[in-house]
């Protein structure tokens, strides 16, 4: 996707060139998730850039997955008396860095959009505010984490900790190109829970005592089919059965040793007395999550009664969704209007797949969450990852305009 570059009246050419140079340098610092030294170099470089723009940087070494020490960078505004305007970014990339290069209207670079591009756009926005002679909101708090692309242990902890009392969360992950030449930001993300179904029936010889048997396998299969049938194509919840095992108890409980039975004639004459299935459900609104959990439990009770089997359904902890109609709705409208005033079209994605920063909030519904504020491009996580230069310009200006309206 390529659009016209913004006029130099909006974003002075030298300021844009300088921000592009900064992104090129950041992308050249190799900082894949498994490289603590590279991540530290990246955090230190960013700390210098934040300090130059009036934010007080602090790098702490925290215990990541497996106890590995990894850097977490904070950049604090001068006036954090009210709940902060929290911005979140990550410095880790999936691949180690390859030398960045310009290719027509794009910069091909590791992390160009995911998400050194978003961080660079934010730094560019601070420069643009200075150029306009406008102070950024004094309560800015930028948190930069080193492990978003892997387990996300620190990403979760940092979002949880610093969002307590925050007045908003802005996420510098990339938007997406939209049809017809626009770009997107993200207003909603699905939440989820995982579930595990365990069914016990009664084994019987299928030749001699077929009607005496109670098939756990058939009961579990019936539950799975009905559970998935509650998935709603029109944006409602979805249920996915991820794994299913059925057979006689020794087979199901000793699967690792018993799998050799598959493809043989053994035990096919037994009504299977054991089955388990496990999977997940996803949903865009907290109430829909509770509702679907209730439906799945009722289904388990009803099928247990109908099939004369014992069924237990365990439902795991819920990762909360971000409701696109939550407190960010008015902020999204504002962002769309700000983009339109600069001559480009910003669309709002009402739901983006995958679990990400906003889902790590304790209660996403309590504060406005603006996600996908970073520039668009393509080839994420590949050697072809690139940022669209027109989009990079737009996002610098959009972030600056948003910062002005958040003062």
Q: How many CB atoms lie within 10 A of CB 234?
A: 4
Tell me how far, at minimum, the Cβ of 341 lies from Zn ion, in Å.
28
Burial (Cβ within 10 Å: 0-12, 13-18, ≥19) of residue 374? buried
Nearest to Zn ion of 119, 129 (CB atom): 119
Cβ 8 to Zn ion, closest distance in Å? 31
| 347 or 371: CB nearest Zn ion | 371
- Give the residue from 95, 140, 141 showing the smallest Cα distance to 114: 95
Residue 67 is given by DSSP the state G
Instruction: Provide the minimum distance between the beta carbon of 162 and Zn ion in the complex, in angstroms, as a whole number.
Output: 18
Residue 70 or residue 239: which is nearer to Zn ion going by CB? 70
Distance between CA 142 and CA 386 in Å, rounded?
24
Smallest distance from Zn ion to CB 376, Å = 13
Closest distance between Zn ion and the C-beta of residue 114, in Å?
A: 4
Nearer to Zn ion, 347 or 385 (CB): 385
Nearest approach in angstroms of CB 173 to Zn ion is 5
CB closest to Zn ion, residue no: 114
C-alpha 154: how far from its chain's center? 14
Q: Is 83 helix (H, G, I), strand (E, B) or coil?
A: coil
Nearer to Zn ion, 127 or 147 (CB): 147
Continuous segment of H or E residues that includes residue 69: strand 69-76
Q: Which spans of this chain sit near Zn ion (rule: CB under 5 A)?
A: 114-115, 173
Q: Determine how many CB atoms are found less than 10 A away from the CB of residue 108.
A: 20
Q: How far is the CB of 260 from Zn ion (least distance, A)?
A: 43
Q: How far apart are CA 376 and CA 374, in angstroms?
A: 7
Rounded to whole angstroms, the Cα distance separating 403 from 407 reads: 6
Q: Which of 225, 264, 233, 235 is nearest to 247 (CA)?
A: 264
Rounded to whole angstroms, the Cα distance separating 261 from 388 reads 55
Q: Which is nearer to Zn ion, 173 or 385 (CB)?
A: 173
248 φ/ψ angles, rounded to the nearest 5 degrees: -85, 160
Closest approach of Cβ 122 to Zn ion, in Å? 14
From residue 246, give the alpha-carbon distance in Å to each of 204, 215, 242: 15, 9, 14
Torsional sign, CA 305, 311, 312, 318? negative
Beta-ladder partners of 197: 277, 313
């Amino acid at each position: 996707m390529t659009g016209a570059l913004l006029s130099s009246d909006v974003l002075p050419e030298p300021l844009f060139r300088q921000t592009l140079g900064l992104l090129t340098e950041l992308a050249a610092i190799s900082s894949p998730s498994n490289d603590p030294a590279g991540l530290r170099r990246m955090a230190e470089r960013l700390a210098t850039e934040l300090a130059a723009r009036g934010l007080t940087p602090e790098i702490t070494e925290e215990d990541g997955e497996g106890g590995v020490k990894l850097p977490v960078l904070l950049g604090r505004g001068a006036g954090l008396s009210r709940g902060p305007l929290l911005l979140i970014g990550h410095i880790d990339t999936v691949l180690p860095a390859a030398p960045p290069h310009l290719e027509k209207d794009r910069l091909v670079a590791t992390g160009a959009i995911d998400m050194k591009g978003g961080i660079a756009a934010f730094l560019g926005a601070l420069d643009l505010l200075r150029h306009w002679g406008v102070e950024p909101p004094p309560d800015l708090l930028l948190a930069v984490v080193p492990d978003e692309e892997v387990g996300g242990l620190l990403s979760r902890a940092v979002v949880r900790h610093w969002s307590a009392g925050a007045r908003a969360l802005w996420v510098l992950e990339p938007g997406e190109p939209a049809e017809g030449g626009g770009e997107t930001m993200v207003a909603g993300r699905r939440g989820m829970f995982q579930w595990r179904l365990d069914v016990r029936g009664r084994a019987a010889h299928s030749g001699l005592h077929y009607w005496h048997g109670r098939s756990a396998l058939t009961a579990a299969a019936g539950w799975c089919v009905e559970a998935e049938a509650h998935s709603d194509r029109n944006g409602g919840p979805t249920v996915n059965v991820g794994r299913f095992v059925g057979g006689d108890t020794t087979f199901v409980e000793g699967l690792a040793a018993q799998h050799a039975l598959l493809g043989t004639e053994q035990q096919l004459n037994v009504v299977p007395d054991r089955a388990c299935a496990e999977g997940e459900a996803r949903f865009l609104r907290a109430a829909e999550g509770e509702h679907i959990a209730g439906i799945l439990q009722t289904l388990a009770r009803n099928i247990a009664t109908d099939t004369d089997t014992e069924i237990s359904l365990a439902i795991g902890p819920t990762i909360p969704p971000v409701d696109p109609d939550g407190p960010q709705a008015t902020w999204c409208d504002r962002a769309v209007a700000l983009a339109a005033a600069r001559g480009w079209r910003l669309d709002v994605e009402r739901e983006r797949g995958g679990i990400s920063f906003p889902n790590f909030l304790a209660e996403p519904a309590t504060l406005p969450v603006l996600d996908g504020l970073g520039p668009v491009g393509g080839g994420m996580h590949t050697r072809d990852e690139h940022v669209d230069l027109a989009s990079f310009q737009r996002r610098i200006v959009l972030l600056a305009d948003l910062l002005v309206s958040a003062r």
